[in-house]
Chain A
Amino acid sequence: ETGVTQSPTHLIKTRGQQVTLRCSSQSGHNTVSWYQQALGQGPQFIFQYYREEENGRGNFPPRFSGLQFPNYSSELNVNALELDDSALYLCASALNGGGAYEQYFGPGTRLTVT
């Protein structure tokens, strides 16, 4: 069973640029969530996708957007990058069967904005 994978591992961008981060969910999982983890802090929820539709969003501006594909993989897009966007971006997948469920995290993408 393959776990959650993310690409790239590290990324350096300049303020104002756009970035796309990718996530492959664990086999059989239909739900993907994205989190931002700033240095020294706990992860913060950005949004979640379930069956290709956004299924909840945290307190992040619209320049953070996402997609989920038919194979349940997902992308996180961030436009107009700001210095404060520098963080570890985590993807988590889960099998949403209608009840409580646990999320499985990938290794993350470390984004540095200069």
Chain B
Amino acid sequence: AQSVSQHNHHVILSEAASLELGCNYSYGGTVNLFWYVQYPGQHLQLLLKYFSGDPLVKGIKGFEAEFIKSKFSFNLRKPSVQWSDTAEYFCAVNARRNAGNMLTFGGGTRLMVKP
């Protein structure tokens, strides 16, 4: 069975600091990878996705993520965070052969950006 680990449960940063959130998955086959964000009081929104091709993907709001197949990782980065980035971030994996294309989520990282 596939699983997803997000190493940092809580992260506190000051505005303008750089961000990197770790995500590792366990599955040996071909995967689709996602980062979702949940702002306070709002529903899950897709930040970015990787299906194939360039392993460095760019998403909305200046976020990017790099797929490193050899490390089973898909870390999320942003060069300079803003107060409005305060939210919970979820990494998710979908094994392509998996019936139903279910998403397996990590436990989430709660990011607080201090103004």
* B74 within 8 A of partner (CB): no
Interface residues of A (CB under 8 A from B): 4, 31, 33, 35, 40-45, 47-48, 50, 55-58, 90, 92, 94, 96, 100-108
Taken together as a complex, chains A and B put the C-alpha atoms of A65 and B43 apart, in Å, by: 23
Interface residues of B, dominant DSSP: loop
- Chain B nearest CB: distance from A40 CB in Å? 8
Q: Number of B residues contacting the other chain (C-beta, 8 Å)?
A: 28
Top-7 shortest CB links A-B: A56-B100, A42-B105, A105-B44, A45-B102, A48-B100, A100-B51, A107-B43
A-B contact count (CB 8 A): 69
Interface residues of B (CB under 8 A from A): 4, 6, 32, 34, 36, 42-46, 49, 51-52, 90, 92, 94, 96, 98-108
Q: In the assembled complex, which residues on chain B have CB atoms less than 8 Å from the CB atom of A55?
A: 99-100
Q: In the assembled complex, which residues on chain B have CB atoms less than 8 Å from the CB atom of A44?
A: 105
Taken together as a complex, chains A and B put the C-alpha atoms of A55 and B36 apart, in Å, by: 23
Taken together as a complex, chains A and B put the C-alpha atoms of A50 and B101 apart, in Å, by: 11
B96 touches A45 (CB 8 A): no
Q: In the assembled complex, which residues on chain B have CB atoms less than 8 Å from the CB atom of A106?
A: 43
- Chain A nearest CB: distance from B91 CB in Å? 8
